[in-house]
Structure 1
Amino acid sequence: MSVPHQPAATARPRTPREPGELFGPRTALFAEVLAAGVYCTLASLPVITAPTAFAAACRLLREAADDGRPATPGRYLAALRAPGAGRSLRAGLALLALATLLALDTALAGAGLPGAAVVRWVLAAVGAAALLVGVRAAADPAVADAGWRRALSGAVSRSGEDRRGTAWLAAALCLTGVIAWMSPPLALLAPGALAFAVTAVEARAAVREETAPQA
């Protein structure tokens, strides 16, 4: 008695990403985020290089998402050496000056002046808004070529238009700060998690702009 021939089952192609994921398999993403966090922290030690270091971390994760490139030290150094290094150092000096000014104003507000509580809240809001716009500008792919001024202008516009993304970034900033405060050793990895968050939000915003109906 002959058994009817059955065609061999064809294996389904394995997709590199799960539905709804922006960055591919979760295990690979976790390793990329950890690596980006370590690189960014080390490159930010001189303080004025912090904007450049964070922008390079965002670029590293974006390349890992788009092209599957591994987050190696060599690729991170290449991102650090991207055009516009002088502009990035000036941005670092501006960031340091702003942080110093806010710290001095906060210290003066705590010296028993009238309305000190209100001034503290206003300064905290200004600092949080500046930080949110800054990290969003760092994830702009054109920040190295067009400069920080144009990137900051675009980040301000996107922050107002993409309110949901702005809320997610605010939550990511708060969560990153809380984690670093509760466990200082994790502060070494915190920039990677924050870079992942802002890169994901910016990727989502870019997709929305591409799929939005033209007027």
Structure 2
Amino acid sequence: MRVLVPQSREPGELFGPRFTLFADMLAVGLAAAVASLPLVTAPVALAAACTVLRRAVSEDRPATLGQYVAELRAHGLVRSLLAGAAVLAAAALLVLDLLLTRAGLPGARPMSGALAVLAAGGLVVALRTAADPDVARSWRPALHRAAARSAADPSGCAWVTAAVVLCLAFVWMQPLLAPLLPGPLAFAVTAVELRRTPEGPCPAPPPPDEG
């Protein structure tokens, strides 16, 4: 399995690379929380966090605020607003449907269950779309790739769902942690995607010694 964090420590370094990555994750999460304040920018804020953390892991370099701002700009203002508006509209429609099922209509209970499953699946696909490495170029192809990956990788969907549940539990237990949680969530989704990255072919063994 792919090792996400290097094990070496530089001379004179007080903390290991795991602690550095943890600090970067929290800092990126705080930046994503600030960028998500208008709500319509939340999808792009999370996508930028995923990209910065992916590069921090794959290229073994610290994440910086400048990198995060550059990723936000790479998405473009119009595409960012359209993506955010689409996500908010889908969420509002789902909430409206859930409210209608509580109005005592026939078949309300099975419909509520179906909507809950649909909401969970949509959230997982949306998060995996945000973690797509090429999401800044276009959201639509990234969404199609995320849907295909989700269908082919149910265990990854389960891990993403578990990450969301843990984040909600942390918010319920300690609401003050909410501004930091976009970082761990983005890192969890990115780790799920990175675990499916091909390692590349192994080198061929040397020929046997005939002498």
The verdict on a shared fold, with TM-score over 0.5 as the criterion, is: yes
The alignment partner of 1:207 has SS state of: coil
1:23 aligns with 2:5: yes
4+ residue runs over 3 A deviation: none
How many Å separate the matches in 1 of 2:76 and 2:194?
23
1:186 aligns with 2:186: no
How many Å separate the matches in 1 of 2:80 and 2:61?
24
Q: Once the two structures are aligned, what percentage of the paired residues are identical?
A: 52
Match among 144, 148, 155 for residue 157 of structure 1 = 148
User: Does structure 1 retain, via aligned residues, the 8 Å contact 2:24–2:63?
Assistant: yes
> For the aligned residues, what is the CA RMSD?
1.8
Alignment of 1:1-215 (within 5 A): 21-24=3-6, 25-145=17-137, 147-207=138-198, 210=200
Per-residue CA deviation, residues 104-133 of structure 1 (Å, 9 max, x unaligned), is 111111122222222221111111111100
Matched residues, number? 192
Q: TM-score, normalised by structure 1?
A: 0.83
Per-residue CA deviation, residues 179-202 of structure 1 (Å, 9 max, x unaligned), is 112221111111111100111111
Paired letter, 1:117: R
CA deviation after TM superposition for structure 1 residue 85, in Å = 3.7
Unaligned runs of 5+ in 2: 7-16, 203-211
CA deviation after TM superposition for structure 1 residue 20, in Å = 5.4
Q: Aligned pair in 2 of structure 1 residues 163, 211: CA closer, same or farther (>3 Å)?
A: farther
How many Å separate the matches in 2 of 1:153 and 1:20?
25
Which of the two has higher C-alpha Rg?
1
How many Å separate the matches in 2 of 1:115 and 1:22?
47
How many Å separate the matches in 2 of 1:211 and 1:85?
40
Paired letter, 1:194: L
